[in-house]
Structure 1
Amino acid sequence: MDSIVYLDHAATSWPKPPEVLEAMRVSMEEAAANPGRGSHAMAVKASRVLYGTRKALAALFGVRNPNDIVLTSNTTEALNLAIKGYLREGDHVIATMVEHNSVRRPLEYLKRTRGVQVDYVAVNGEGELRLQEVEAAFRSNTKLVVCSHSSNLLGSIIPLEELGALVKKRGAVLLVDAAQSAGVLDIQVEDMKIGMLAFPGHKGLLGPQGTGGLYISPDIDLEPLLHGGTGSQSEALEQPTVRPDRYEAGTPNTVGFAGLQAGVRKVLEWTPRQIYRHEWELTQMLMEGLLTLPSIRILGPEQGKARTGIVAFVSDTYSASELAFRLDREYGIAVRSGYHCTPLAHMAAGTDRMGAVRASVGISTRPEEISLMLQAMAEIHG
């Protein structure tokens, strides 16, 4: 592959740590049987891969019982399981204007098919949420509060500890979309009163695509999203009642979860605190350089404020798609342009008619790559 400056970590992290690639190779060679479906040595080894992944995730998120973590193919599947499995006809949900379509579309589907009521609480132009407005949105039938921990467009961060306390006080359940925060921000499900946590394996957790998960509090029972073989209670007509089998029908992506386990162990080694600091310093460097270009407007929290490794911006000179195309073809810089599957966040930012360019950093991003990005932007706008 030709040299590339990869600034699209909010979509998927790259390159993966060598330990991830090695774990996947070993899994494919030594633990390639179907986990939970046999008692022979290789099937048992495959089962241990999955349990080891749950244990690593439990250590990261402060989960007492690793079997309360359901392994999924991505965050979208996890969110669909949580939302469709928990809500019933007539329930009320509070969400925010920074939600990804992985939250909004399931909610709108249930609004149309089950009569679920949904309110989207406004955020300001920087993506900041006022807890008073969340509290004002509660009704007698509010069962669920859903929030994106960090906006995939604005990089803004929701104060989870305070929100979790509010939601618990009001007797509802908090579902957190950690697509942009898992592995980067410290998340402790019990301390933060999180009822369900949906997360990707392929972003901040440094694992491969096709992996993700959902933590489900032991106090919550969901209707399964998928029905089928689990290797347990095979004589029963219904899905098993035991976790995690109840929510994991079909053959899992064992090799992918072996890679995810290795990725999570690297995150535990580096710690989310250090990873966040690295990414924050790079975003501040990028913002400082972009602010010298008069035609550029940066979205999200202003310089110096907390944000995840996302810097989205618009140009008075070029459309988002044209700018991203030129960065790629002329400079070998990978960014993303468009609406980023979050139209309400674009409405909050005032970019719903134009979209935006999003540059996003990761643990592997180097300062010299930010310099190359800034040099390219200066030449394009020169």
Structure 2
Amino acid sequence: MDSPVSPRLYFDQAATSVPKPSATIETMREHMLKHEAAVGRGTYRSAVHAGGIIASLREELARWIHAVSANEISLQNGGTEALNVGIFGLIRPGDHVVTTAAEHNSVLRPLHHLSLQQQVQLTIVDVNASGRVSPEAVMGAVREETSMVAVLTASNVNGTVQPIEDLGQRLAEHFAHTAKPIFLTDAAQSFGYRRINVQQAEVDVLAAPGHKGGQGPLGTGFLYVRQKLHPRIRPLILGGTGSQSDRLEMPTLFPHAFEAGNMNVPAYAGWLAGLRARRGDRSAADTLDETARKLSSIAEDLYRRLETVPGVRVIGRPKHPKLPIVSLEIEGLPASDAASILDSEFGIEVRSGLHCAALIHRAIGSPSDGTLRVSCSAETSDEDLDRLIDAIGQLTAGASSF
């Protein structure tokens, strides 16, 4: 094609949200210009201000997931780091862990590493053709010696929402009179998009990045750990915390002992501003309910439109899609080629490949090279979808000529 490239149209929201709120960007800039200081390393005004940002962000995050206390929130440099802190900090040699084939590599790789080291026994529960795990199958894999059950809230491959609340309550009921396995969830694709009530769902550990539904910049994340587990969890990174500096032993108090080194205060300040701007005067629950309704509507529309395009195979469609994340295959074109052409010829940015979640693809019937993934935000318009569908239609019509 000889026509100029169209303006950028971003359909990779499952990787990171674009654009970030102006409040996030402006607050980061203002903080670096006027208030830059390390947290916990001084008693002067700017350092105290930085400490206030961190405390306020913990409170805001606790509000969004219904944590009992802000001190159950540890700030991390992303969802992957948070998951590693939770997994390596809580699992002990000889433990048995149950997880699912829908998980992201941020969960599967740490657990696989521990199993290779013969430190844990690992059971991976299969998922159905839409990538959903059965609570009965998970419960059937749980043993007396199971110490952790790790199930993500929603798939980054096709948006399938997992039955977290059902599973959490089943675990709590089954182990009402004995030690319950730690229930861990990766909330990367749901935090900021859908309600997560850690108390109601009996979730013990939750990890999420700040740069997707959280309205924050890349390199931000958090780890929620239920209060009763604080004596058990061990730090993954050791170093300065600004407290008990006369001791060579690492402090053990959660969350501060899990935030060694200087914290990225400008990024956290922006994240806090983004969350507050998103919520406004409403409760986090009301904000999330509105966002969930928008996303569900867009998801239904996106699936409906794609399923009408000749030469497109939608892969792993959930029965009732809740998140606008769709995996597909274009007849005659590898996913990587299709993504490259959409970018270079149409200005449309999508993702191709296995999306760091290799095991789910076997269940949903992906090609060996993975899928073409389209993911939207709550602000995706009908005009955006029109342009996407038109471009894919041109792509399928002329697949052999590309």
Q: TM-score category by the smaller chain?
A: over 0.9
After superposition, give the CA deviation of every residue in 1:33-62 in whole Å (9 maximum; x if it has no partner).
Answer: 101110000000011111111111011111
**1:209/1:47 CA distance change after superposition, 3 Å:** same
- Alpha-carbon distance, 1:241 to partner: 2.2
Q: Give the paired residue count.
A: 381
Matched, 1:212 2:226: no
Q: Which residue of 2 aligns with 1:295?
A: 311
The letter for the 2-side match of 1:57 is: L
User: Residue type matched to 2:326 in 1?
Assistant: V
Q: Find the aligned partners of 2:359 and 2:135 in 1 and give their Cα distance.
A: 18
Contact 1:183/1:267 (<8 A) preserved: no
Unaligned runs of 5+ in 2: 281-285, 398-402
Q: For residue 279 of structure 1, what is the aligned residue in structure 2?
A: 295
Secondary structure of the residue aligned to 2:203 is coil
2:283 match:
none
Alignment match, 1:51: 55
* Residues 188-211 of structure 1, C-alpha deviations (whole Å, 9 max, x = no match): 111111100000000011110010
* Counterpart residue type for residue 274 of structure 1: E
- Per the TM alignment, residue 307 of structure 1 is displaced from its structure 2 partner at its CA by 2.6
Given the alignment of the two structures, is residue 239 of structure 1 paired with residue 254 of structure 2, yes or no?
no
Corresponding residue for residue 166 of structure 1: 170
**What amino acid does structure 2 have at the position aligned with 1:162?**
D
How far is the alpha carbon of 1:378 from its aligned partner? 0.9
1:354 Cα deviation (Å)? 2.6
Contact 1:283 1:310 in 2 (8 A): yes
Q: Deviations over 1:86-141 (max 9, x none)?
A: 11111000101100110000001111224201111111010121111111101111
Look up the match of 1:256: 267
Given candidates 180, 193, 197, the residue that maps to 2:202 is: 193
Partner residue, 2:34: 30
Q: Which residue of 2 aligns with 1:373?
A: 388
Per-residue CA deviation, residues 132-166 of structure 1 (Å, 9 max, x unaligned), is 11111011110100011101102101111111112
Partner of 1:145: 149
Structure 1 residue 302 displacement after superposition: 4.1
Q: Which amino acid is the alignment partner of residue 210 of structure 1?
A: G
**Equivalent in the alignment of 1:324:** 339
Q: 2:104 aligned to 83, 100, 107, which one?
A: 100
Q: Hey, what does 2:370 align to over in structure 1? A: 355
Q: Distance in 2 between matches of 1:134 and 1:352?
A: 27
Q: Which runs of 4+ in 1 moved over 3 A?
A: none
Match of 1:341 among 356, 376, 379: 356
Residues in 1 aligned to 2:298 and 2:195: alpha-carbon distance in whole angstroms: 19
Q: Is the 8 A contact 2:315 2:366 kept in 1?
A: no
Q: What is the aligned partner in structure 2 of residue 154 from structure 1?
A: 158
Per the TM alignment, residue 268 of structure 1 is displaced from its structure 2 partner at its CA by: 2.8
TM-score (norm 1): 0.97
Q: Would the aligned equivalents of 1:282 and 1:370 in 2 still touch at CA under 8 Å?
A: no
Q: Deviations over 1:313-363 (max 9, x none)?
A: 112221101111111011100100001011101111122513000110113
- What percentage of residue pairs aligned between the two structures are identical? 38
Deviation at 1:274, TM superposition (A): 1.2
Range 14-23 or range 165-174, more displaced: 165-174
Aligned pairs for 1:61-72 (under 5 A) are 61-72=65-76
The answer on whether the counterparts of 1:205 and 1:267 sit within 8 Å (CA) in structure 2 is no
- Cα distance in 2 for residues equivalent to 1:2 and 1:261: 34
Query: How many Å apart are 1:2 and its aligned residue?
Result: 7.3
**CA offset at residue 276 of structure 1?**
1.7
> Which residue of 1 is the match for residue 117 of structure 2?
113
2:326 to 303, 311, 322: 311
Alpha-carbon contact 1:337-1:357 (below 8 Å) kept? yes
- The amino acid across from 1:257 in the alignment is Y
Contact 1:143 1:173 (8 Å CA) reproduced:
yes
Q: TM-score, normalised by structure 2?
A: 0.92
| Stretch of structure 1 that moved more, 132-141 or 263-272 | 263-272
Task: Give the letter for the 1:20 counterpart.
Answer: T
Range with greater deviation from structure 2 (260-269 or 327-336): 260-269
Once residues 24 and 139 of structure 1 are traced to their aligned partners in structure 2, the CA distance between those partners, rounded to angstroms, is 47
Contact 1:149 1:180 in 2 (8 A): yes
The answer on 1:14 being equivalent to 2:18 is yes
CA RMSD of aligned residues (A): 1.5
Encode CA deviations 1:244-288: one digit per residue, 9 max, x unaligned.
211000001100001111222234347111112222222222211
Q: Is the 8 A contact 1:70 1:248 kept in 2?
A: yes
Asked whether the equivalents of residues 88 and 114 of structure 1 are also in contact (C-alpha less than 8 Å), the reply is no
Residue 26 of structure 1 and its aligned partner are, at CA, apart by 2.0
Query: Are the equivalent residues in 1 in contact too, given 2:316–2:365 (CA < 8 A)?
Result: no
What's the counterpart of residue 241 of structure 2? 230
Offset at residue 294 of structure 1 (A) = 3.1
Change in 2 beyond 3 A, CA 1:82/1:302: closer
Which deviates more from structure 2 when the two are superposed, residues 292-301 or residues 189-198?
A: 292-301
Q: What is the distance in 1 between the residues matched to 2:119 and 2:75?
A: 29
* Contact 1:8–1:334 (8 Å) recurs in 2: yes
Letter of the 2:274 partner, please give it: G
Please tell me whether the aligned partners of residues 202 and 208 of structure 1 are also in contact (alpha carbons under 8 angstroms). yes
Q: Secondary structure at the match of 1:203?
A: coil
SS in 2 for 1:59: helix
